[in-house]
Structure 1
Amino acid sequence: MRRAGGHVVVPHAARAFRVVVLGFVLTVVLAACGSSSEEPTAVPTFPVPAADGGPSADSADPGDVVPDDCGEILAAGDLEALLGLPLGSVKLRTTIGVAQPSVGRTERVTCSYNRNGGPSRSLLVINATAYRDADAAAAQWRVNTDAESGQRSEVPLGSAFASLFEKGDEAVLMVAHATSNVSLVLPEQPLPGDRSPRDVLVDLALRILPAVTVNVPTGLPEPVPQAGAAR
Protein backbone atom coordinates (compact mmCIF):
# COMPACT_ATOMS: atom_id res chain seq x y z
CA MET A 1 0.00 0.00 0.00
CA ARG A 2 1.27 3.46 -0.90
CA ARG A 3 0.15 7.08 -0.78
CA ALA A 4 -0.54 8.98 -4.03
CA GLY A 5 -1.35 12.68 -3.87
CA GLY A 6 -2.44 12.46 -0.22
CA HIS A 7 -4.70 9.44 -0.83
CA VAL A 8 -4.19 5.85 0.23
CA VAL A 9 -3.83 3.54 -2.70
CA VAL A 10 -4.87 -0.07 -2.10
CA PRO A 11 -3.06 -2.63 -4.22
CA HIS A 12 -5.12 -4.55 -6.74
CA ALA A 13 -4.48 -7.91 -5.03
CA ALA A 14 -5.77 -6.62 -1.70
CA ARG A 15 -8.90 -5.23 -3.35
CA ALA A 16 -9.53 -8.57 -5.02
CA PHE A 17 -9.15 -10.41 -1.73
CA ARG A 18 -11.68 -8.14 -0.02
CA VAL A 19 -14.17 -8.67 -2.82
CA VAL A 20 -13.82 -12.43 -2.52
CA VAL A 21 -14.31 -12.33 1.25
CA LEU A 22 -17.37 -10.10 0.99
CA GLY A 23 -18.84 -12.33 -1.68
CA PHE A 24 -18.35 -15.42 0.46
CA VAL A 25 -20.03 -13.80 3.48
CA LEU A 26 -22.95 -12.68 1.32
CA THR A 27 -23.34 -16.19 -0.08
CA VAL A 28 -23.43 -17.72 3.42
CA VAL A 29 -26.03 -15.21 4.60
CA LEU A 30 -28.24 -15.80 1.56
CA ALA A 31 -27.92 -19.56 1.94
CA ALA A 32 -28.89 -19.37 5.59
CA CYS A 33 -31.92 -17.25 4.77
CA GLY A 34 -33.01 -19.63 2.06
CA SER A 35 -32.55 -22.63 4.30
CA SER A 36 -34.55 -21.14 7.15
CA SER A 37 -37.48 -20.33 4.87
CA GLU A 38 -37.63 -23.82 3.38
CA GLU A 39 -36.88 -25.89 6.51
CA PRO A 40 -38.12 -24.02 9.58
CA THR A 41 -37.05 -25.35 12.97
CA ALA A 42 -39.88 -27.30 14.59
CA VAL A 43 -41.18 -25.90 17.89
CA PRO A 44 -41.21 -28.62 20.56
CA THR A 45 -44.56 -29.39 22.16
CA PHE A 46 -45.28 -30.89 25.58
CA PRO A 47 -48.41 -32.58 27.00
CA VAL A 48 -50.57 -30.26 29.05
CA PRO A 49 -51.18 -31.63 32.58
CA ALA A 50 -54.69 -31.88 33.97
CA ALA A 51 -56.00 -28.73 35.60
CA ASP A 52 -56.00 -30.28 39.08
CA GLY A 53 -52.57 -31.84 38.70
CA GLY A 54 -54.06 -35.35 38.84
CA PRO A 55 -54.78 -37.95 36.20
CA SER A 56 -57.07 -37.05 33.36
CA ALA A 57 -60.53 -38.51 33.01
CA ASP A 58 -59.29 -40.87 30.29
CA SER A 59 -56.83 -42.46 32.72
CA ALA A 60 -59.37 -43.06 35.50
CA ASP A 61 -59.54 -46.68 36.62
CA PRO A 62 -62.90 -48.05 35.44
CA GLY A 63 -62.47 -51.08 37.71
CA ASP A 64 -63.18 -49.22 40.95
CA VAL A 65 -66.37 -50.66 42.44
CA VAL A 66 -66.10 -50.36 46.23
CA PRO A 67 -65.80 -46.82 47.66
CA ASP A 68 -62.59 -46.05 49.56
CA ASP A 69 -64.59 -44.18 52.22
CA CYS A 70 -66.91 -46.26 54.41
CA GLY A 71 -69.05 -43.19 54.92
CA GLU A 72 -70.15 -43.68 51.31
CA ILE A 73 -71.08 -47.30 52.03
CA LEU A 74 -73.01 -46.71 55.26
CA ALA A 75 -72.73 -43.45 57.16
CA ALA A 76 -72.35 -43.56 60.93
CA GLY A 77 -75.50 -41.48 61.28
CA ASP A 78 -77.50 -44.03 59.29
CA LEU A 79 -76.41 -46.82 61.61
CA GLU A 80 -77.28 -44.67 64.62
CA ALA A 81 -80.80 -44.22 63.25
CA LEU A 82 -81.16 -47.89 62.38
CA LEU A 83 -80.04 -49.05 65.84
CA GLY A 84 -81.83 -46.26 67.74
CA LEU A 85 -78.60 -44.81 69.12
CA PRO A 86 -77.91 -41.17 70.09
CA LEU A 87 -76.42 -38.90 67.45
CA GLY A 88 -72.63 -38.87 67.52
CA SER A 89 -72.44 -42.14 69.43
CA VAL A 90 -70.93 -44.17 66.57
CA LYS A 91 -67.37 -43.82 65.30
CA LEU A 92 -66.37 -45.25 61.96
CA ARG A 93 -63.03 -46.53 60.74
CA THR A 94 -62.13 -47.40 57.14
CA THR A 95 -59.44 -49.98 56.37
CA ILE A 96 -58.29 -50.45 52.77
CA GLY A 97 -57.17 -53.99 52.00
CA VAL A 98 -55.02 -55.34 49.20
CA ALA A 99 -55.82 -57.22 46.04
CA GLN A 100 -55.51 -61.00 45.94
CA PRO A 101 -54.88 -62.05 42.34
CA SER A 102 -54.90 -65.76 43.19
CA VAL A 103 -58.67 -65.63 43.77
CA GLY A 104 -59.39 -62.74 41.40
CA ARG A 105 -59.96 -60.18 44.14
CA THR A 106 -59.27 -56.61 43.02
CA GLU A 107 -60.55 -54.57 45.98
CA ARG A 108 -61.21 -54.96 49.69
CA VAL A 109 -62.57 -52.41 52.16
CA THR A 110 -63.41 -53.07 55.81
CA CYS A 111 -65.74 -50.76 57.73
CA SER A 112 -65.70 -50.94 61.53
CA TYR A 113 -68.48 -49.23 63.51
CA ASN A 114 -67.86 -48.88 67.24
CA ARG A 115 -69.59 -47.18 70.14
CA ASN A 116 -68.07 -43.76 70.71
CA GLY A 117 -67.33 -42.76 74.28
CA GLY A 118 -66.82 -45.08 77.22
CA PRO A 119 -65.67 -48.65 76.62
CA SER A 120 -65.30 -49.28 72.89
CA ARG A 121 -67.82 -51.84 71.68
CA SER A 122 -68.22 -53.21 68.19
CA LEU A 123 -71.62 -52.48 66.66
CA LEU A 124 -71.10 -53.67 63.08
CA VAL A 125 -68.34 -54.79 60.71
CA ILE A 126 -68.72 -54.66 56.93
CA ASN A 127 -66.31 -56.36 54.54
CA ALA A 128 -66.84 -55.34 50.91
CA THR A 129 -64.80 -56.93 48.14
CA ALA A 130 -64.74 -56.77 44.35
CA TYR A 131 -63.48 -59.37 41.86
CA ARG A 132 -62.36 -59.46 38.25
CA ASP A 133 -65.65 -61.06 37.16
CA ALA A 134 -68.88 -62.51 38.51
CA ASP A 135 -67.59 -66.10 38.38
CA ALA A 136 -64.64 -65.26 40.64
CA ALA A 137 -66.95 -63.43 43.06
CA ALA A 138 -69.40 -66.33 43.24
CA ALA A 139 -66.60 -68.88 43.67
CA GLN A 140 -65.07 -66.98 46.58
CA TRP A 141 -68.50 -66.48 48.17
CA ARG A 142 -69.00 -70.26 48.12
CA VAL A 143 -65.56 -70.80 49.69
CA ASN A 144 -66.31 -68.28 52.43
CA THR A 145 -69.80 -69.57 53.21
CA ASP A 146 -68.58 -73.17 53.33
CA ALA A 147 -65.93 -72.14 55.87
CA GLU A 148 -68.31 -70.09 58.04
CA SER A 149 -69.72 -71.58 61.25
CA GLY A 150 -73.11 -71.22 62.89
CA GLN A 151 -76.66 -72.11 61.98
CA ARG A 152 -77.05 -71.41 58.27
CA SER A 153 -80.17 -70.25 56.46
CA GLU A 154 -80.65 -68.84 52.98
CA VAL A 155 -81.98 -65.30 52.65
CA PRO A 156 -83.99 -64.14 49.61
CA LEU A 157 -82.36 -60.96 48.27
CA GLY A 158 -83.62 -60.75 44.72
CA SER A 159 -80.92 -61.70 42.21
CA ALA A 160 -78.20 -61.73 44.90
CA PHE A 161 -77.01 -64.82 46.76
CA ALA A 162 -77.24 -64.46 50.54
CA SER A 163 -76.67 -66.78 53.49
CA LEU A 164 -77.20 -65.97 57.16
CA PHE A 165 -75.11 -67.59 59.92
CA GLU A 166 -76.43 -67.21 63.49
CA LYS A 167 -74.12 -67.89 66.41
CA GLY A 168 -74.32 -67.30 70.12
CA ASP A 169 -72.56 -63.94 70.14
CA GLU A 170 -73.08 -62.63 66.59
CA ALA A 171 -74.90 -63.03 63.31
CA VAL A 172 -73.20 -62.92 59.90
CA LEU A 173 -74.85 -62.21 56.55
CA MET A 174 -72.80 -63.06 53.45
CA VAL A 175 -73.97 -61.72 50.10
CA ALA A 176 -72.72 -62.10 46.52
CA HIS A 177 -73.92 -60.10 43.55
CA ALA A 178 -72.28 -59.48 40.18
CA THR A 179 -68.56 -58.87 40.83
CA SER A 180 -68.95 -58.00 44.53
CA ASN A 181 -69.13 -59.82 47.84
CA VAL A 182 -70.32 -58.29 51.10
CA SER A 183 -70.25 -59.74 54.59
CA LEU A 184 -71.93 -58.05 57.55
CA VAL A 185 -71.07 -59.05 61.12
CA LEU A 186 -73.57 -57.93 63.75
CA PRO A 187 -72.46 -58.62 67.34
CA GLU A 188 -75.10 -59.54 69.90
CA GLN A 189 -76.68 -56.32 71.23
CA PRO A 190 -80.07 -54.81 72.06
CA LEU A 191 -82.00 -54.04 68.86
CA PRO A 192 -84.84 -51.50 68.63
CA GLY A 193 -88.44 -52.60 68.13
CA ASP A 194 -87.66 -56.18 69.14
CA ARG A 195 -86.19 -56.70 65.68
CA SER A 196 -84.20 -59.87 65.09
CA PRO A 197 -80.56 -59.86 63.93
CA ARG A 198 -81.80 -61.32 60.63
CA ASP A 199 -84.18 -58.38 60.08
CA VAL A 200 -81.49 -55.81 60.89
CA LEU A 201 -78.86 -57.45 58.67
CA VAL A 202 -81.24 -57.72 55.72
CA ASP A 203 -82.18 -54.06 56.18
CA LEU A 204 -78.48 -53.14 56.24
CA ALA A 205 -77.76 -55.19 53.13
CA LEU A 206 -80.53 -53.43 51.22
CA ARG A 207 -78.91 -50.08 52.04
CA ILE A 208 -75.33 -51.20 51.32
CA LEU A 209 -75.61 -53.23 48.11
CA PRO A 210 -76.28 -50.27 45.77
CA ALA A 211 -73.02 -48.65 46.96
CA VAL A 212 -70.71 -51.64 46.52
CA THR A 213 -71.93 -53.36 43.36
CA VAL A 214 -71.66 -52.47 39.68
CA ASN A 215 -75.45 -52.45 39.47
CA VAL A 216 -78.32 -52.84 41.90
CA PRO A 217 -79.60 -56.41 42.31
CA THR A 218 -83.06 -56.88 40.81
CA GLY A 219 -86.03 -57.88 42.90
CA LEU A 220 -84.86 -56.24 46.14
CA PRO A 221 -87.50 -55.09 48.62
CA GLU A 222 -87.33 -51.59 50.05
CA PRO A 223 -85.41 -51.05 53.33
CA VAL A 224 -87.44 -50.46 56.46
CA PRO A 225 -87.87 -46.68 56.90
CA GLN A 226 -85.67 -45.31 59.67
CA ALA A 227 -87.56 -43.86 62.62
CA GLY A 228 -84.65 -41.48 63.35
CA ALA A 229 -81.87 -41.63 65.89
CA ALA A 230 -82.61 -41.21 69.57
CA ARG A 231 -81.52 -37.94 71.16
Structure 2
Amino acid sequence: MTYNGMIIFGEMGSGKDTLADRIIEADGRFKKYGLGDIIRLIKKVSTVDPAWFGNERTFMQLAADKLREIDMDILNHFALAKMLEENLGDFTLTKEAYREDLNRLFEKILRDHNVIPMIVGGRTWKDYDYWTSRGFLAVGIEVDAHKRMERLVLRDGQEVAEKSDSTHNTEKDVREIIERCELKVDNNGSLEDLDREVERVTQYFFKA
Protein backbone atom coordinates (compact mmCIF):
# COMPACT_ATOMS: atom_id res chain seq x y z
CA MET A 1 0.00 0.00 0.00
CA THR A 2 1.35 3.44 -0.94
CA TYR A 3 0.06 5.25 2.17
CA ASN A 4 0.36 4.51 5.89
CA GLY A 5 -2.94 6.25 6.56
CA MET A 6 -5.03 9.34 5.83
CA ILE A 7 -5.42 12.80 7.35
CA ILE A 8 -8.50 14.98 6.81
CA PHE A 9 -8.27 18.79 6.75
CA GLY A 10 -11.26 21.13 6.90
CA GLU A 11 -12.57 24.37 8.37
CA MET A 12 -15.09 24.55 11.21
CA GLY A 13 -18.36 22.96 10.14
CA SER A 14 -16.92 21.43 6.98
CA GLY A 15 -17.89 17.88 7.99
CA LYS A 16 -14.54 16.32 8.86
CA ASP A 17 -16.00 13.79 11.27
CA THR A 18 -18.94 13.09 8.98
CA LEU A 19 -16.56 12.30 6.11
CA ALA A 20 -14.45 10.10 8.37
CA ASP A 21 -17.50 8.22 9.66
CA ARG A 22 -18.78 7.62 6.11
CA ILE A 23 -15.35 6.32 5.09
CA ILE A 24 -15.43 3.89 8.03
CA GLU A 25 -18.92 2.74 7.01
CA ALA A 26 -17.62 2.10 3.49
CA ASP A 27 -14.47 0.29 4.67
CA GLY A 28 -14.27 -0.91 8.26
CA ARG A 29 -10.49 -1.13 8.20
CA PHE A 30 -10.24 2.64 8.68
CA LYS A 31 -10.06 3.79 12.31
CA LYS A 32 -10.50 7.41 13.35
CA TYR A 33 -8.15 9.41 15.56
CA GLY A 34 -8.86 13.08 16.26
CA LEU A 35 -6.22 15.76 16.62
CA GLY A 36 -8.68 17.38 18.99
CA ASP A 37 -8.91 14.33 21.29
CA ILE A 38 -6.64 15.85 23.91
CA ILE A 39 -8.56 19.16 23.68
CA ARG A 40 -11.89 17.38 24.17
CA LEU A 41 -10.56 16.12 27.51
CA ILE A 42 -9.80 19.69 28.55
CA LYS A 43 -13.14 20.94 27.19
CA LYS A 44 -14.85 19.55 30.30
CA VAL A 45 -13.72 22.75 32.03
CA SER A 46 -16.19 24.74 29.91
CA THR A 47 -19.12 22.73 31.30
CA VAL A 48 -18.52 23.95 34.88
CA ASP A 49 -16.88 27.37 34.45
CA PRO A 50 -19.50 30.08 33.68
CA ALA A 51 -16.81 32.18 32.01
CA TRP A 52 -16.88 29.75 29.09
CA PHE A 53 -20.59 28.97 28.88
CA GLY A 54 -21.63 29.43 25.25
CA ASN A 55 -18.04 30.05 24.24
CA GLU A 56 -16.69 26.51 24.28
CA ARG A 57 -15.05 26.64 20.87
CA THR A 58 -12.94 29.69 21.78
CA PHE A 59 -11.88 27.86 24.94
CA MET A 60 -10.80 24.87 22.85
CA GLN A 61 -8.85 27.08 20.44
CA LEU A 62 -7.07 28.81 23.33
CA ALA A 63 -6.29 25.49 25.01
CA ALA A 64 -4.79 24.20 21.77
CA ASP A 65 -2.69 27.35 21.40
CA LYS A 66 -1.33 26.99 24.94
CA LEU A 67 -0.46 23.33 24.43
CA ARG A 68 1.34 24.20 21.20
CA GLU A 69 3.48 26.63 23.20
CA ILE A 70 4.91 23.56 24.93
CA ASP A 71 5.41 21.68 21.64
CA MET A 72 4.02 22.71 18.27
CA ASP A 73 3.37 19.06 17.46
CA ILE A 74 1.86 18.05 20.80
CA LEU A 75 -1.61 17.33 19.34
CA ASN A 76 -0.02 15.23 16.62
CA HIS A 77 2.18 13.38 19.11
CA PHE A 78 -0.85 12.61 21.29
CA ALA A 79 -2.82 11.21 18.33
CA LEU A 80 0.14 9.11 17.20
CA ALA A 81 0.77 7.76 20.69
CA LYS A 82 -2.91 6.90 21.12
CA MET A 83 -2.93 5.15 17.74
CA LEU A 84 0.14 3.05 18.50
CA GLU A 85 -0.96 2.17 22.04
CA GLU A 86 -4.49 1.13 21.04
CA ASN A 87 -3.32 -1.13 18.24
CA LEU A 88 0.04 -2.42 19.44
CA GLY A 89 0.11 -2.07 23.22
CA ASP A 90 3.86 -1.98 23.75
CA PHE A 91 6.00 -0.43 21.04
CA THR A 92 9.50 0.92 20.60
CA LEU A 93 10.75 3.97 18.73
CA THR A 94 14.44 4.89 18.66
CA LYS A 95 16.14 8.18 17.87
CA GLU A 96 18.65 6.43 15.63
CA ALA A 97 16.06 4.79 13.36
CA TYR A 98 12.88 6.72 14.09
CA ARG A 99 11.39 6.71 10.58
CA GLU A 100 12.23 3.06 9.94
CA ASP A 101 10.76 2.09 13.32
CA LEU A 102 7.61 4.08 12.67
CA ASN A 103 7.05 2.64 9.20
CA ARG A 104 7.50 -0.82 10.66
CA LEU A 105 4.86 -0.09 13.30
CA PHE A 106 2.40 1.29 10.71
CA GLU A 107 2.92 -1.85 8.63
CA LYS A 108 2.32 -4.01 11.69
CA ILE A 109 -0.92 -2.16 12.52
CA LEU A 110 -2.27 -2.93 9.05
CA ARG A 111 -0.87 -6.45 8.77
CA ASP A 112 -1.62 -7.77 12.25
CA HIS A 113 -4.70 -5.72 13.14
CA ASN A 114 -6.15 -4.88 9.71
CA VAL A 115 -6.39 -1.21 10.73
CA ILE A 116 -5.77 1.86 8.54
CA PRO A 117 -5.26 4.96 10.73
CA MET A 118 -7.27 8.04 9.78
CA ILE A 119 -6.44 11.39 11.42
CA VAL A 120 -9.28 13.91 11.67
CA GLY A 121 -8.98 17.62 12.39
CA GLY A 122 -5.80 18.76 10.69
CA ARG A 123 -5.61 22.58 10.78
CA THR A 124 -1.99 23.77 10.66
CA TRP A 125 1.01 23.45 8.37
CA LYS A 126 2.73 21.58 11.19
CA ASP A 127 -0.10 19.04 11.08
CA TYR A 128 0.25 18.76 7.32
CA ASP A 129 4.02 18.26 7.43
CA TYR A 130 3.84 15.87 10.38
CA TRP A 131 1.48 13.39 8.76
CA THR A 132 2.41 13.67 5.09
CA SER A 133 6.05 13.12 6.03
CA ARG A 134 4.88 9.93 7.77
CA GLY A 135 3.22 8.64 4.63
CA PHE A 136 -0.37 9.81 5.15
CA LEU A 137 -2.63 10.92 2.30
CA ALA A 138 -3.82 14.52 2.84
CA VAL A 139 -7.53 15.01 2.06
CA GLY A 140 -9.07 18.50 2.12
CA ILE A 141 -12.79 19.25 2.43
CA GLU A 142 -14.20 22.13 0.42
CA VAL A 143 -17.43 23.72 1.70
CA ASP A 144 -18.99 27.15 1.08
CA ALA A 145 -18.92 29.53 4.08
CA HIS A 146 -22.71 29.84 4.38
CA LYS A 147 -23.11 26.07 4.32
CA ARG A 148 -20.52 25.65 7.08
CA MET A 149 -22.31 28.21 9.26
CA GLU A 150 -25.64 26.41 8.78
CA ARG A 151 -24.03 23.19 9.95
CA LEU A 152 -22.31 24.85 12.91
CA VAL A 153 -25.65 26.25 14.08
CA LEU A 154 -27.28 22.84 13.79
CA ARG A 155 -24.41 21.17 15.63
CA ASP A 156 -23.50 23.70 18.33
CA GLY A 157 -26.43 26.10 18.50
CA GLN A 158 -26.67 29.72 17.36
CA GLU A 159 -24.73 31.27 20.24
CA VAL A 160 -21.72 28.97 20.06
CA ALA A 161 -21.64 29.13 16.25
CA GLU A 162 -21.67 32.92 16.20
CA LYS A 163 -18.87 33.10 18.78
CA SER A 164 -16.67 30.63 16.89
CA ASP A 165 -13.57 32.48 15.74
CA SER A 166 -13.29 31.99 11.99
CA THR A 167 -10.34 34.43 11.94
CA HIS A 168 -8.26 32.26 14.31
CA ASN A 169 -4.82 31.55 12.87
CA THR A 170 -5.55 27.86 12.38
CA GLU A 171 -8.72 28.63 10.45
CA LYS A 172 -6.70 30.85 8.12
CA ASP A 173 -4.03 28.21 7.66
CA VAL A 174 -6.46 25.40 6.90
CA ARG A 175 -7.99 27.25 3.95
CA GLU A 176 -4.55 27.40 2.35
CA ILE A 177 -3.70 23.83 3.33
CA ILE A 178 -6.83 22.45 1.66
CA GLU A 179 -5.53 23.84 -1.64
CA ARG A 180 -2.29 21.91 -1.12
CA CYS A 181 -3.96 18.59 -0.24
CA GLU A 182 -3.37 15.76 -2.66
CA LEU A 183 -7.09 15.00 -2.79
CA LYS A 184 -10.07 17.34 -2.32
CA VAL A 185 -13.65 16.47 -1.35
CA ASP A 186 -16.69 18.61 -2.16
CA ASN A 187 -19.09 18.54 0.80
CA ASN A 188 -21.60 21.16 -0.29
CA GLY A 189 -24.27 18.62 -1.18
CA SER A 190 -26.31 15.86 0.43
CA LEU A 191 -25.10 12.77 2.28
CA GLU A 192 -25.70 10.83 -0.92
CA ASP A 193 -23.36 13.22 -2.72
CA LEU A 194 -20.81 12.78 0.06
CA ASP A 195 -21.00 9.01 -0.23
CA ARG A 196 -20.02 9.31 -3.89
CA GLU A 197 -17.05 11.39 -2.79
CA VAL A 198 -16.22 8.72 -0.20
CA GLU A 199 -16.11 6.08 -2.94
CA ARG A 200 -13.72 8.29 -4.92
CA VAL A 201 -11.50 8.83 -1.88
CA THR A 202 -11.23 5.14 -0.99
CA GLN A 203 -10.56 4.17 -4.59
CA TYR A 204 -7.81 6.76 -4.80
CA PHE A 205 -6.29 5.64 -1.50
CA PHE A 206 -5.96 2.00 -2.55
CA LYS A 207 -5.04 2.55 -6.19
CA ALA A 208 -2.40 5.24 -5.68
TM-score (norm 2): 0.28
* Greater fraction strand: 1
TM-score (norm 1): 0.26
User: Greater relative contact order (Cα 8 A, min sep 6): structure 1 or 2?
Assistant: 2
* Greater fraction helix: 2
Q: Which has the larger radius of gyration?
A: 1
